[in-house]
Structure 1
Amino acid sequence: MSEWYEESFGEDYLVVYRHRDFGGARREVERMIGWLDLPPGAKVLDLCCGMGRHSLALSESGYEVTGVDLSEALLREARAQEGSGQVTWLRSDMRKLPLTGDFNAVVNLFTSFGYFEEDEEQIKVLREIGRMLKPGGKFIIDFLNPAHVIRHLVPHSTREDADNLIDEQRRIEDGYVKKDIILTSKADGTPRHYHERVKLYSLEQFQAMIAEAGLRLEAVHGSYDEGPYISESSTRMIFRGIKPA
């Protein structure tokens, strides 16, 4: 059987998440540039780059960018964007990358983490981030804030676009936030079913995994507004750190 992320990040993902815009990615990259403090031309790896929003913004900002994702459909969308020729696009599982570790920075954004059942599989991702970095290289991992997700979870919503009805059901179950998505074609009524699942990690659990992977955490932000992480009110957990020299 295929894993959920192999099924869900296809052409229909572009329909469900069409509202994610490139302008928002540019604003987030502006903040990340300040955090990373890299020289022009620095090598940056966007791990789980999706449709390339942040990769392209980083490239426009003067960095040498490599975007990696498992989804060929999302990489195809990324390659179709203006400026995509300046980015190196690569299809790979984030737990085992066919790259050498000469990057000045690695970013893993928009909750592209926690996809696996076993903690050790998530730690493999963190170890790969460390392997990709030069000594002294920096990382940013943008994860959800579990407390915020639990408090603001919308159990059910429906919407539509030109061609599909989109039904989304969400729940917290067995330590995961889970989403079931049904897209129904307006043309013939045919439903397509997808499932998403992200493991919920507390700040302390995430800190422990980062340390186990040999990385050093420097700060945790609660949003791209740079405020500190506050469990009860922050929308995100954005981890910023370094590979020890």
Structure 2
Amino acid sequence: MPKKWFQNWFNSPYYHILYHQRNDAEAEFFIDNLCAYLKPTADSNLLDIACGRGRHSVYLNKKGYNVTGIDLSVSNVKFAQQFENEKLQFYVHDMRYPFYINYFDFAFNLFTSFGYFETEKDHVNALKTFRKSLKKDGILVLDYFNSHKIMHHLTNQEVKHVDGIDFYISKKIADGKIIKSISFEHKNKDYSFKEEVKAFTLADFVHMFEKSGFKILNHFGDFSLNPFNETKSDRLIFICQKADV
């Protein structure tokens, strides 16, 4: 079976070259605000789903929490494992399949690390898996882009110059997805990758959370946890609780 786009792209060194400017200070600001809002206890167990190279996990661990990060990318997890300690572990794992059951107090799925799959059923099943990993009344934080704003401000073409590479990036809307095509040449070889993320709306998430056994406690529109505004907000951030089903 051919690999899915996310299996190829997130495992590529070029992904990290293109996005190397991602802002750690911004990520830490978001985590600080989430922790102030959620108030995890010192012995809380935290799960970072699709943790990438572990920047959120590492910072949560620095704040004193027990953190487990999971990601599908072998190279990401290998990179993150250099930061491991008694209270911080990383594993290669597909978010669609069960991980520790009824174990975590909080689960985080941050930076639009969702919406990659083909069908609603796949996404609902992933959410059900998140739910299974949580203790009774456990909390899920899911941070997504605001697809409504992105679709109304789509830049069709841009070129980014990073580390001597010209990345040609184009975006379009098709099949209910926001599709980003990335092509470039490096060392006389041509490369092309795609990012395909579902343009889920607030209503879509309300429906999927209900189907997967979550109760939405609150939702926000940015990393400062300001109220969500469909036309202006950059993010769509949910705080959900594992519900009895």
**TM-score above 0.5:** yes
Which residue pairs with 1:166 in the alignment? 167
- Once the two structures are TM-superposed, the CA of residue 51 in structure 1 deviates from its matched residue by 1.1
Is 1:121 matched up with 2:138?
no
3-state SS, counterpart of residue 5 of structure 1: helix
Deviation digits for residues 12-46 of structure 1 (CA, Å, limit 9, x no counterpart)? 21111111132221111001102221101310000
- Once the two structures are TM-superposed, the CA of residue 137 in structure 1 deviates from its matched residue by 0.9
> Which amino acid in 1 is paired with 2:238?
F
Contact 2:111/2:144, CA 8 A, preserved across alignment: yes
Deviation digits for residues 81-121 of structure 1 (CA, Å, limit 9, x no counterpart)? xx433421011110103322210000000001110110000
Between the aligned partners of 1:77 and 1:191, the Cα distance in structure 2 is 26
Deviation digits for residues 140-167 of structure 1 (CA, Å, limit 9, x no counterpart)? 0001111111122221111222242211
Between the aligned partners of 2:221 and 2:25, the Cα distance in structure 1 is 20
3-state SS, counterpart of residue 127 of structure 1: helix
Between the aligned partners of 1:174 and 1:123, the Cα distance in structure 2 is 18
3-state SS, counterpart of residue 98 of structure 1: coil
Deviation digits for residues 168-211 of structure 1 (CA, Å, limit 9, x no counterpart)? 111111210001111311xx331111111001111111101001
3-state SS, counterpart of residue 166 of structure 1: strand
Which residue pairs with 1:194 in the alignment? 193
Write out aligned runs for 1:176-187 (5 A).
176-185=177-186
Which residue pairs with 2:74 in the alignment? 72
Between the aligned partners of 1:35 and 1:136, the Cα distance in structure 2 is 16
Unmatched 5+ stretches in structure 2: none
- Once the two structures are TM-superposed, the CA of residue 75 in structure 1 deviates from its matched residue by 1.4
> Which amino acid in 2 is paired with 1:204?
A
Which residue pairs with 2:224 in the alignment? 225
Unmatched 5+ stretches in structure 1: none
TM-score (norm 2): 0.94
3-state SS, counterpart of residue 122 of structure 1: helix
Runs of 4 or more, structure 1, over 6 Å off, are none
Contact 2:182/2:193, CA 8 A, preserved across alignment: yes
Between the aligned partners of 2:122 and 2:18, the Cα distance in structure 1 is 27
Between the aligned partners of 2:160 and 2:240, the Cα distance in structure 1 is 39
3-state SS, counterpart of residue 229 of structure 1: coil
Which residue pairs with 1:88 in the alignment? 89
- Once the two structures are TM-superposed, the CA of residue 227 in structure 1 deviates from its matched residue by 1.3
3-state SS, counterpart of residue 224 of structure 1: coil
Contact 2:159/2:168, CA 8 A, preserved across alignment: yes
Which residue pairs with 2:142 in the alignment? 141
TM-score (norm 1): 0.94
> Which amino acid in 1 is paired with 2:22?
R
3-state SS, counterpart of residue 201 of structure 1: coil
Contact 1:66/1:88, CA 8 A, preserved across alignment: yes
- Once the two structures are TM-superposed, the CA of residue 225 in structure 1 deviates from its matched residue by 1.5
Which residue pairs with 1:235 in the alignment? 234
Pairwise CA RMSD of aligned residues? Answer: 1.3
Write out aligned runs for 1:4-43 (5 A).
4-10=5-11, 11-43=13-45
- Once the two structures are TM-superposed, the CA of residue 136 in structure 1 deviates from its matched residue by 1.4
- Aligned length in residues: 241
Between the aligned partners of 1:189 and 1:170, the Cα distance in structure 2 is 25
3-state SS, counterpart of residue 158 of structure 1: strand
3-state SS, counterpart of residue 123 of structure 2: helix
Which residue pairs with 2:110 in the alignment? 109
